[in-house]
Chain A
């Protein structure tokens, strides 16, 4: 492996932070979701790098399950989003503040 594993993990970190910024700073719900997907993917990249590093397949299995869960999460999340849009006619996450104390 000519490219040091650190590089992969560093990239993963960068993508993770990017995704986090996207979650925090965007108001469109869909874009927030996609930022979350970005974060999940970055985590997958990290796991696969570690799997390669230690020659342990478990890392790939973890990434596999992350993928599955991500899929389910997207389904549920988008269903909720659609529901909210139907009732409130907005996709701005700041508008959904019913849990305000």
Chain B
């Protein structure tokens, strides 16, 4: 049973992965990413990481991916690959492919050598439950937890600051400023 689910989920994730990397349009890439995220969530469940599987769905698929979609819609820029003018030529592609293949080979080899034929004991009950993770989070991993909170704050501030519309008006240049303001006022006023 487990094997079947694993096979399907991993196949899906691979298909999705390929899709992310090879899609023409960003929107297609985003949807492929969704497939990947979902199948990975399933795999997490197989690995007895329930809490994280749920988090994966809520955070990754539900928030981060949505953010991507928003930005895709906001930019609605065409894919640059439709107008080929690559600055990095074939040597770059070759290097990338060769190194990636090499990396995969090395890692795969190492993995198989280290983990091949390993027998895994069943873990204690409650492994991967929200309670267990939460307990660890607030005891052994308290410091990283706090720091993560700080990091989130930084992210919020960054998002607000960078996301603000650029200020075009300056004091002392009323001509440029006034039409924009009038425009805004009129719109607001007509409501």
A and B associate: yes
Which residues on A are within 8 Å of B, measured CB to CB?
Answer: 1-11, 13-22, 24-28, 30-31, 33-35, 37-38, 41, 44-45, 48-49, 51-53, 55, 57-58, 60-61, 63-65, 67-76, 78-83, 85-86, 89-92, 94-95, 97
CB distance A17 to B104 under 8 Å? yes
CB distance B47 to A51 under 8 Å? yes
- The minimal Cβ–Cβ distance linking B107 to chain A, given in whole angstroms, is 5
Residues of A with C-beta under 8 A to B49 = 48, 51-52, 60, 63
CB distance B155 to A64 under 8 Å? no
- The minimal Cβ–Cβ distance linking A94 to chain B, given in whole angstroms, is 4
Kindly state the separation between the CA atoms of A9 and B67 in the bound complex, as whole angstroms.
29
CB distance B128 to A45 under 8 Å? no
Kindly state the separation between the CA atoms of A81 and B2 in the bound complex, as whole angstroms.
41
Interface residues on B, range: 35 or more
For A37, A53, A80, which residue has the most chain B Cβ atoms within 10 angstroms? A37
Kindly state the separation between the CA atoms of A20 and B97 in the bound complex, as whole angstroms.
10
> What is the interface of chain B mostly: helix, strand, loop, or mixed?
helix
Q: Take A10-B111, A52-B48 as given contacts and tell me if A19 and B21 are in contact as well, using a CB distance cutoff of 8 Å.
A: yes
Question: Knowing that A15-B17, A31-B26, A52-B120 are A-B contacts, what are 8 other residue pairs whose CB atoms are under 8 Å apart, sorted by A's residue number?
Answer: A21-B97, A24-B92, A27-B81, A34-B20, A60-B49, A65-B141, A67-B60, A85-B77
For residues 152 through 191 of chain B, which have their beta carbon under 8 Å from a beta carbon of chain A? 152, 154-156, 158-159, 162-163, 166
CB distance A71 to B20 under 8 Å? no
- The minimal Cβ–Cβ distance linking A85 to chain B, given in whole angstroms, is 5
List 6 A-B pairs, minimum CB-CB distance, nearest first: A22-B21, A72-B155, A79-B162, A92-B80, A24-B96, A55-B123
CB distance A64 to B33 under 8 Å? no
> What is the interface of chain A mostly: helix, strand, loop, or mixed?
helix
CB distance A82 to B47 under 8 Å? no
CB distance A60 to B56 under 8 Å? no
Residues of B with C-beta under 8 A to A51 = 47, 49, 128
CB distance A64 to B137 under 8 Å? yes
CB distance A13 to B108 under 8 Å? yes
Kindly state the separation between the CA atoms of A59 and B64 in the bound complex, as whole angstroms.
22
Q: Take A9-B115, A15-B17 as given contacts and tell me if A72 and B64 are in contact as well, using a CB distance cutoff of 8 Å.
A: no
CB distance B80 to A60 under 8 Å? no
Residues of A with C-beta under 8 A to B152 = 68, 71-72
CB distance B29 to A34 under 8 Å? yes
Residues of B with C-beta under 8 A to A94 = 80, 86-88
- The minimal Cβ–Cβ distance linking A99 to chain B, given in whole angstroms, is 14
CB-nearest residue of chain A to B7: A3
For B46, B86, B88, B115, which residue has the most chain A Cβ atoms within 10 angstroms? B115
**What are 11 sample pairs from A and B whose C-beta atoms fall under 8 A apart?**
A21-B97, A48-B49, A57-B133, A61-B133, A61-B141, A67-B59, A69-B148, A74-B64, A81-B71, A82-B75, A91-B75
